[in-house]
Structure 1
Amino acid sequence: MKKERKSEAYPYSSGGWGSLRAVAHIVAQEKVALKDSRILLRQNKPDGFMCVSCSWAKPADPHTFEFCESGAKATAWDTTSKRVTHDFFRAHTVSELLTWHDHDLEEAGRLTGPLRYDAETDRYVPVSWQEAFDEIGRALQATDPDKVVFYTSGRASLETSYMLQLFARMYGTNNLADSSNMCHESTSVGLTEAIGVGVSTITLDDFEKTDLMFFFGQNVGTNSPRMLHPLQDARERGVEIITFNPLREPGLISFSNPQSPVQMLTPDHTQISTQYHQLKTGGDTAALVGLCKAVIAADDATLANGLPRVLDDDFIREHTHGFEDFALYVRNTHWADIERVSGLSQIDIERAAHAYIQANAVIVHYGMGLTQHRMGVQNVRMVCNFLMLRGNIGKPGAGPSPVRGHSNVQGQRTVGITEKPELAPLDRLAEQFSFEPPRTKGMNTVEAFEAMVKDEVSAVFNLGGNLVRSVPDRTQTEPAWSRLRLTVNVATKLNRSHLVPGAVSFILPCLSRIEIDRQASGEQAVSMEDSTGCMHGSRGVTEPASPDLRSEPFIVAGIAKATLRDRSTVDWDAWRDDYSRVRAEIAKTYPDIFHDFESRMWTPGGFHRPLPARERKWKTPGGKAEFAAPATLEEDPDMSVREPGALRLMTLRSDSQFNTTIYGLDDRFRGIKGTRMVILMNREDMAARSLKEGEHVTLETIAHDGIERRVAGLRLVPYDIPKGCLAGYYPECNPLLPLWHYAKESKVPGAKSIPVRIVAQHLQSVD
């Protein structure tokens, strides 16, 4: 493991030479051959492969280098020349591997063949593919379907996701948990309630037509750097960008384009945020209420003076319900309360509102900084309230823009991965495949682990996820995972979930999306949906890491066939051999979205799913867009920080990370070197507690459920963060997050707002 080094503030803009050095470093680290580095030239191209990391939109007219630092790292990580062979498992027991750092587990290289856990030797041993399928099938046949959970990460293709949801429902369950449950389920619920669709209403074209953009809780420089290119273009034509974010992040401040000779050879850069407001963690609803209050007050003043309206009265009257109740709530909310909860001044909020009033078309981008809160759904509803005041939904250059993380997390929901039966076309599936789907609600991710802790789950099929590391309350959930009767893990690399085996455990190594997928009918392609609702084809371009790897569709088909046997009307072998057969069935199930799927999937820029709200058609129960007054300004009225000296912790990712995958221990943008066991803290908060930079502390969760939650050995780093707030890395701080601390209505874990106390190491008792 790398030695900890002193943290230093990052003095440069995002992108630039720092980005190029980071890409060169990981290509060398993963021993990617120089000739293979040309793979990057096929990334996010219409005839190439879609990035395996973020889901940001793919342009019809791509740049020569249509990848960002994060995407290049993900590609190098998958195309590494390092291999985990059977010799690796002969040399290392599972108990030993459990002591390894997460980074070192994945850094060992690509898995090369199917494995079964042998409890007697505490090692994974080789197994044939057919033996694995048959044993898994027998185990599932002997298990109550209601006690089996099928989980998908967002890397699964549309084809794989469709096959898996059909298999699960034919098997007899709607327990189709997925990574969206962990991040943007608040969006799916909130946007659907407000405007009738649960996804973004903007496309890349809207960047060229907008006058103003807001960012809430989305660190574009780390999480979706390719988005910086259209942001740079927008800034160059004078579009303002107003950011609300607790931490000052380089990626939201300035950007040097690695593809611009001027910006690479001179100090030139593009200023991203024209206003930057550091609100308190959990202060988003209060800030948005303040913005709405300023806009409504300005409209009241114009009415009183006979001037043109500030509000879009025609839009509100024709297209919305609930405005009067919402406006009454906003008028009655006091600025003192807004300032206290948001941590922002009335003057600063009104300055941002003034820019909004002057703009004709406005986009609000947001990420998990809004959704991973107890009131996450309310935050999303407030974004819609704000946009609707001036008709900024359903017109060019305007709308809500939830920025998804995983590459196909949105698409898998589109083709049926959902635990909610009312969101799946069950009647159509029943007719199409001659079976009766289950109609009872299944378990989402949090519910699955709640049941697991109670020993009410027997088996988990884990497609691409590292669930043991990614879910909250690790001290409760990890032991529960080890008590499972069956765990099946489909993955490209080793991770901690594989090392907490149940009674019977398999690791089934799959092809990466970057690799050529050869089946009986020839080379195959897959498809996925990006954050803006566009569908794209993706074709692998490099040789597989091992001849014994199988594709995700192959693995799903093999297990489905072995489990369902004569109960299934699907020719799983035919689907395995030719994915166009799967796409043909997807088109039958979802004709409005996927008609002519095969011919349209290679459309440059993708083909767009129908979005009624974009045309001001509202698929809500009332037939109109819905205003909603918030229930509270507070982030969490049920778990308020009342203890003296209490702090509010948010978890975040580094620039060398994709979800639970850790590419390196440095975080260049935040100046962290050689470790992830750090806490970012306001200097005044440190001084008030007589704490010093570099001191090691323990965090303890403030909760009253009788469970001790603590993480020790965290090094203090002074950072530009509001008083009363802390930031630490995910997943290292996951043990502090109670499983029950999730967003109301969506059950997204409240990882951005955890009440904690801080204990200096020299004050801790010695056992």
Structure 2
Amino acid sequence: MSDKSKTQDEDLPHYDRPTGGWGSVKSLATIMERSRPDPGVMKTLWRQNKPGGHMCTSCAWAKPAKPHPFEFCENGAKATVWDLTSHRCTPAFFAENSVETLKSWSDHDLEMVGRLTHPLRYDASTDHYVETTWAEAFAGIAAELQQLDPKSVVFYTSGRAALETSYLWALFARLYGHNNLPDSSNMCHETTSVGLKKVIGSSVGTCTLEDFEQCDMIMFFGQNTGSNSPRFLHNLQAAAKRGCHIVTFNPVRERGLIEFVNPQSPVQMLTTSSTQISEHYLQVKPGGDIAVLAGLCKRVLELEAEKGGVLDKTFIAEHTKGFDDFVRSMQQTQWADIEQASGLKRADLEMIAAMYATAKKTIGIYGMGLTQHVHGFVNLAMYVNLLLMKGHIGRLGGGISPVRGHSNVQGQRTVGISEKPKLVPLDKLAEMFDFEPPRDEGRTTVEVVRGVLDGSVKAFLSLGGNFARAIPDQGQADPAWKDLTLNVQVATKLNRSHLLVGRKTWLLPCLVRAEEDMQATGAQAVSMEDSLSNIYGSVGKRQPASEHLKSEMAIVAGLAKATLKPNPKVKWDEWLGDYSLVRDLIEETYPDDFKDFNARMFEAGGFYRGNPARERVWKTESGKAEFTAPKVLSALGERPGKGEFTMITMRSNDQFNTTIYGHSDRLRGLEGSRYIVLMNPDEIANAGLSEGQMVTLESAVNDGVERRVANMKVTAYDLPDGCVATYYPEANPLIPLDYHDEESKTPAYKGAPVRIVV
């Protein structure tokens, strides 16, 4: 590539100030003005992510044992303010607005109506949601479930539900008779769960916060810390200041990995001085990460051959398998092919490889830029190869560290939310609750959508989230939701999934995590797990938005009790009255991970549940960490043909997953419409387009299905050649359902071929 792989093109839209600082303060103030929470929100933010406080519902980054005075970031504060809005979405609102009318509203405007206040039932005769009672809702939903084949029913979970709720949701599903338990991980980090499990025997990352205090090199692939997990910037800033080398590979130049002003630092805030984060920033082609990693591995092997002492040969001999085949594969890989697939120069890759060769403790960070590809597994396997070469897994200051989005998406898998029976201690559950759990494979997200399309899925129960908006192939799936027998949505605010009604549809409003959860034995606490495998307790103190709201636990228990036959070992009322009893069940089910759960849940900094790979215990098929030889150099499933582009989807600075706080993408210098297509100026000219022109994007996957998103504005931006960038979820209709990672079925949102139609 040209030099723009290293420096920002100043003539194109960009944010010319550091991440954090006064820009974050101003952005949060804008959301405060729109949401209009009461003044008590500041007390809530003061408690956020602190021992004895409530845990943020935004990202899953770790909470330190010694928190900052304000232990929240811009996005975490936005999430809390968004939850605690003074706006209310009441039955009167639905009396005035039909479902068909609301379908024309934007995602942002739907949520801006405010907090849902009453349980609601869809009335098909009027096309309106109408107020109902909880008793009527539980009885009506149970009556439908009792008539259906359990295998035709899906229990989906967003990444926010607490460990206690998730455990009971999974138990409810299996007592009812199915393993159809997809969650938001299926759409983002399932490649991690499957890929890391295969090569190091752990389905999660191996790092803790202590590693970030010890490392001397950090590499980033496909992760946008500034927008998605800004509290992580504190750790990166500290690492950069002590001389740790930070190197980033990403198609887009993201400000959070370039420079940062710490809002906790009066000196930086007053002087506007900043900390440089990335020492080197290379703009790799979409899908080119395998080639980058191959280049780094190839050069490290060359350096070992030239002077020795680079590889950790003792570690390789004692702890790994497949090294010789991997070496032969790298020796046979040509530099010309690496440069072509990555879009980077050999000299740049050799420079980074030389830095890595001398580093003693290296951490590999990644996000969905690696996982959401057809060959996402190969991305992760190659990353692990690079770290294994120098023994950086199971070493203090080193490891592999995926950065998760939802606050408890990792923890839900830990306590049984999984469509894969082999990952759940079913024999233990059978013994504890005196039933025979289903043993067949459940449905992943991709298989759920396919089931909605072909009619084999009859009912969909969603514990939070906005599933219909987050999935690929939205345009194909949207019309099919009306054929469901049952659609149940547990939510805090109105979103698009609630408007795709089935024959019977209920909308059940719940508390947010910051609100007080009063049950029979008093105020209750819940818990969650972060990206680094630490468990935290969370206590809400705010007055609920409506007296008619129930906790997620109460909704799960109410549905289960109404649906299932009585079982003396299944004590829904007792569990609902005292959540500590559910934590006892979790500990009994998973004793190695949750020993002394109730006693430890409020430990400062959380308690670490452990990771065998961190101890160099490899729970793989071979009992060793696995080197793998890559079968491809590009993670793309289909290379773009003539006149085609590789599309990546992005989230804005004013967004958390499908929640759109506003239309400012401050950290990229973009404002206004989210229906834009970003291209570099040369590509705009070569395609015969002009900036500001309105175009249609069309899928270039040749499967006989027409997929289009119209009225997209061409916008010049600093991107690699052959690439266009769009926003998620607006561009999701262009991602075919079957265009996903080969191993995990994670949709390939970061590398789909498209055409531009004028």
Map Cα deviations across residues 655-694 of structure 1 (whole Å, 9 max, x no partner).
1101100000111111221210111111110111222221
Is the 2:286–2:648 Cα contact (8 Å) retained in structure 1? Answer: yes
SS in 1 for 2:566: helix
Unaligned runs of 5+ in 2: 1-10
Map Cα deviations across residues 477-535 of structure 1 (whole Å, 9 max, x no partner).
11122211100000000001111100000000000011010011100000000000000
Q: Distance in 2 between matches of 1:569 and 1:133?
A: 21
Q: What is the CA-CA distance between 1:576 and the residue it aligns to? A: 1.1
The more displaced of 505-514 and 710-719 is 710-719
The more displaced of 31-40 and 228-237 is 31-40
Map Cα deviations across residues 42-101 of structure 1 (whole Å, 9 max, x no partner).
110111011001000011000011000000100000000000111111111111111100
Q: 2:740 aligned with 1:742, yes or no?
A: yes
Q: What is the CA-CA distance between 1:36 and the residue it aligns to? A: 2.4
Residue equivalent to 2:283:
278
Residue equivalent to 1:207:
212
The more displaced of 397-406 and 679-688 is 679-688
Q: How does 1:1-400 map to 2 (within 5 A)?
A: 8-302=13-307, 308-400=308-400
Residue equivalent to 2:655:
657
Is the 2:159–2:412 Cα contact (8 Å) retained in structure 1? Answer: yes
Q: What is the CA-CA distance between 1:378 and the residue it aligns to? A: 1.1
Q: Distance in 2 between matches of 1:327 and 1:372?
A: 27
Residue equivalent to 1:3:
none
Map Cα deviations across residues 311-364 of structure 1 (whole Å, 9 max, x no partner).
110000010000000010001000000000000110011111111011100001
Is the 1:27–1:37 Cα contact (8 Å) retained in structure 2? Answer: no
Q: Distance in 1 between matches of 2:121 and 2:293?
A: 52
Residue equivalent to 2:723:
725
Q: What is the CA-CA distance between 1:267 and the residue it aligns to? A: 3.3
Is the 1:159–1:526 Cα contact (8 Å) retained in structure 2? Answer: yes
Q: Distance in 2 between matches of 1:731 and 1:336?
A: 36
Q: Distance in 2 between matches of 1:292 and 1:8?
A: 35
Q: 2:646 aligned with 1:641, yes or no?
A: no
Which residue of the other structure, out of 666, 674, 685, is the alignment partner of 2:683? 685
SS in 2 for 1:594: coil
Is the 2:392–2:398 Cα contact (8 Å) retained in structure 1? Answer: yes
Residue equivalent to 1:620:
620
Residue equivalent to 2:710:
712
Residue equivalent to 2:609:
609
Which residue of the other structure, out of 727, 750, 753, is the alignment partner of 1:755? 753
Map Cα deviations across residues 96-132 of structure 1 (whole Å, 9 max, x no partner).
1111001000010000010000011111111110111
Residue equivalent to 2:8:
none
Is the 2:199–2:625 Cα contact (8 Å) retained in structure 1? Answer: yes
SS in 1 for 2:721: coil
SS in 1 for 2:155: strand
Let me know the Cα RMSD of the aligned residues.
Answer: 1.1
Q: Distance in 2 between matches of 1:279 and 1:197?
A: 28
* Percent of pairs with identical residues: 56
Residue equivalent to 2:429:
429
Residue equivalent to 2:507:
507
Q: What is the CA-CA distance between 1:221 and the residue it aligns to? A: 0.2
Residue identity matched to 2:182:
A
Is the 2:432–2:569 Cα contact (8 Å) retained in structure 1? Answer: no
Residue identity matched to 1:640:
R
Residue equivalent to 1:763:
none
Residue identity matched to 1:416:
G
Q: What is the CA-CA distance between 1:8 and the residue it aligns to? A: 4.3
Residue identity matched to 1:193:
K
Is the 2:155–2:460 Cα contact (8 Å) retained in structure 1? Answer: yes
Q: Distance in 2 between matches of 1:374 and 1:35?
A: 47
Q: Distance in 2 between matches of 1:403 and 1:8?
A: 27
Q: Distance in 2 between matches of 1:241 and 1:718?
A: 28
Unaligned runs of 5+ in 1: 1-5, 303-307, 761-767
Q: Distance in 1 between matches of 2:557 and 2:384?
A: 41
Is the 2:116–2:493 Cα contact (8 Å) retained in structure 1? Answer: yes
Q: Distance in 2 between matches of 1:393 and 1:36?
A: 42
Is the 1:682–1:719 Cα contact (8 Å) retained in structure 2? Answer: yes
Residue identity matched to 1:170:
L
Relative to 1, partners in 2 of residues 1:452 and 1:571: Cα closer, same or farther, differing over 3 Å? Answer: same
The more displaced of 101-110 and 616-625 is 616-625
SS in 2 for 1:487: strand
Residue identity matched to 1:243:
T
Is the 1:7–1:672 Cα contact (8 Å) retained in structure 2? Answer: no
Residue identity matched to 2:515:
E
Residue identity matched to 1:352:
I
Q: Distance in 1 between matches of 2:14 and 2:357?
A: 36
Residue identity matched to 1:712:
A
- TM-score normalized by the length of structure 1: 0.97
Map Cα deviations across residues 610-642 of structure 1 (whole Å, 9 max, x no partner).
2111111111111110000111112235x2322
Q: Distance in 2 between matches of 1:681 and 1:226?
A: 30
SS in 1 for 2:401: strand
Is the 2:636–2:752 Cα contact (8 Å) retained in structure 1? Answer: no
Is the 2:12–2:718 Cα contact (8 Å) retained in structure 1? Answer: no
- TM-score normalized by the length of structure 2: 0.98
Q: What is the CA-CA distance between 1:393 and the residue it aligns to? A: 0.4
Q: What is the CA-CA distance between 1:568 and the residue it aligns to? A: 6.8
Q: Distance in 1 between matches of 2:206 and 2:361?
A: 13
Map Cα deviations across residues 533-554 of structure 1 (whole Å, 9 max, x no partner).
0000000021100010000000
SS in 1 for 2:429: helix
Relative to 1, partners in 2 of residues 1:292 and 1:8: Cα closer, same or farther, differing over 3 Å? Answer: closer
Q: What is the CA-CA distance between 1:34 and the residue it aligns to? A: 2.4
Residue equivalent to 1:764:
none
Is the 2:13–2:716 Cα contact (8 Å) retained in structure 1? Answer: no
Is the 1:7–1:717 Cα contact (8 Å) retained in structure 2? Answer: no
